[in-house]
Amino acid sequence: MTTEPGWDKETVAQSAALKKKLEDFDFTLLLGVFQSIFGLTEPLFQVLQSKTVDIKKCQDHIKCTIRVTHLEFKRPQGFVYRSGQWVRIACLMLGTDEYHPFTLTSAPHEETLSLHIRAVGPWTSHLRELYTEDRLVELGFHPKLYLDGPFGEGHQEWIDFDVSVLVGGGIGVTPFASILKDLVVKSSNKAKIQCKKVYFIWVTRTQRQFEWVSDIIREVEEMDTLELVSVHIYITQLAQKFDLRTTMLYVTERHFQKVWNRSLFTGLRSITHFGRPPFVAFLSSLQEVHPEVHKMGVFSCGPPGLTKNVEKACQQMNKKDQAHFVHHYENF
């Protein structure tokens, strides 16, 4: 059987008002920041060495419900990292020398480093406000940031499996942005890697909740000429009931995908599902698609509820005398 994984009909959305809800959601645009690096400075903490990040240009686009700040800056000389790793940043303009950890969303081959920071607390909210266009005009300059890192293993084991499954939910999707770009670049450069196929499951309340993820997926799709990455997007903010309109919406999406090879909702080649991921059914379909693979890696990052469901699915599948699923997870 060679059907595409994740096409289980049980994943159909169950909301009569789905289309209206999607149309009403605000777009999450990014606060784009372009920066340059100026040498090494004294460390803010004695045990760490920090690099000064000077912001040189800021473009402010704020129209969002889920606030995300996008920082992009030149890669410091000698800065070596692996996809999925994280760094710590500090900003003295915020009145504190505390460092805060964030996962790099750039890939090791890129000349710039990038971070996507969701404003969910006082520090991240103040950081976002600091780089608004009006605030920068008022200051007359771009505040410096201090950068430490990289740190962490960053789900590096994904490359050690013939087939890997990456599951990202909420802001926990950030490590996989780097990993996906890294994979397709390595494959296009004919690098010798064991991993032959990656399935990326993105779980989000709406595709507009993290619009920047769509941009990265689109970039990966353009680079992935060998079709090593299969992306499945699950939109979860739906009422739990079937009706004719929801069924027609599901059929329309599938027909649009088949004819145009694009999702009606995202414009991506990636498959859009409605509802929560049926992890057991999804993993079971992988056993059918890859019968020759005896061990698959599963890497999840997101809220505890998400990683717990993935773990339960892996444990249930491992009771069968088929491919074994090895689960690694991080909670955000």
**pLDDT tens profile 107-141:** 898 888 888 888 888 999 999 888 888 888 899 88
Check residue 305 and give its pLDDT: 93
Distances (CA, A) of 98 to 87, 94, 177: 13, 10, 26
SS3 72: strand
Residue 292 CB neighbour total at 10 angstroms: 7
SS3 60: coil
In this predicted structure, which of 44-48, 248-252, 295-299 has the lowest mean pLDDT?
44-48
Q: For 113-138, give one letter per residue: b (16+ CB within 10 A) or e.
A: bbbbbbbeeebbeebbebbeeeebee
Of 327, 332, 331, 330, which is closest to residue 153 (Cα–Cα)? 330
Q: Is the dihedral of CA 233, 174, 71, 25 positive or negative?
A: positive
Is pTM beyond 0.75? Reply is: no
Residue 299 has pLDDT above 90, yes or no: yes
Element (H, E) at 250: helix 244-260
Rounded average pLDDT over 187-212: 81
Q: What is the CA radius of gyration of the chain?
A: 21
Task: Spell out the domains of the chain, with CATH numbers in brackets.
Answer: 9-26+154-331 (3.40.50.80), 30-151 (2.40.30.10)
Check residue 65 and give its pLDDT: 39
What is the pLDDT confidence band of residue 154, given thresholds at 50, 70 and 90? low
Instruction: Please confirm whether the linkage preceding 304 is cis (ω < 30° from 0).
Output: no
